[in-house]
Amino acid sequence: MAEQMLADAGLDFVERGSAQVVNEWPDLDLAVRALASAGPSWPALQEAGHERFADAVREAIRPLSTEGLGVRIISEFGWIMGRAPGI
């Protein structure tokens, strides 16, 4: 799918890869505050209000929290690269 997007934009596919990224926070409250700052949270906050939003997020990420070690969310990000033609 991503390769087709490059082609549609007039770019020649070069390569694709991935990178592991990690979100780390000292506790659930700070993690909720961080996640509330992402653009996708904005309409949810508007619709549900902060308390309901925070409760739902806190419960969702609680399994990723370890007492004394904080909260860690490990994600795999993909990337793709294309080259502009002409050389």
Partner 1 sequence: MGWIESGRAWGERATDWAYLMEPYARRANDALFDRAGVGPGTRVLDIACGSGYAAGVAAGRGAVVAALDASEALVAIARTRTPDADFRVGDMFDLPFEDDQFDVATSFNGIWKGCEDALREARRVVRPGGLVGVHFLGLAQAAWPAAVLRGATGTVAAWPCRCHPQSGRYRMAWGG
**Which residue type does 64 have?**
L
- The whole-angstrom separation of Cα 42 and Cα 5 is 28
Indicate the residue among 1 and 69 with the shorter CB distance to partner 1.
1
The full length of the chain comes to 87
The single residue among 5, 27, 29, 62 that binds partner 1, judged by CB under 8 A, is: 5
User: Total residues at the site for partner 1 (CB under 8 A)?
Assistant: 55
Please report which residue ranges of 1-87 form alpha helices under DSSP H.
2-8, 28-36, 41-48, 50-61
Chain positions contacting partner 1, by CB under 8 A: 1-2, 5-6, 8-11, 14-15, 17-25, 30, 33-44, 47-48, 52-53, 55-57, 59-61, 75-87
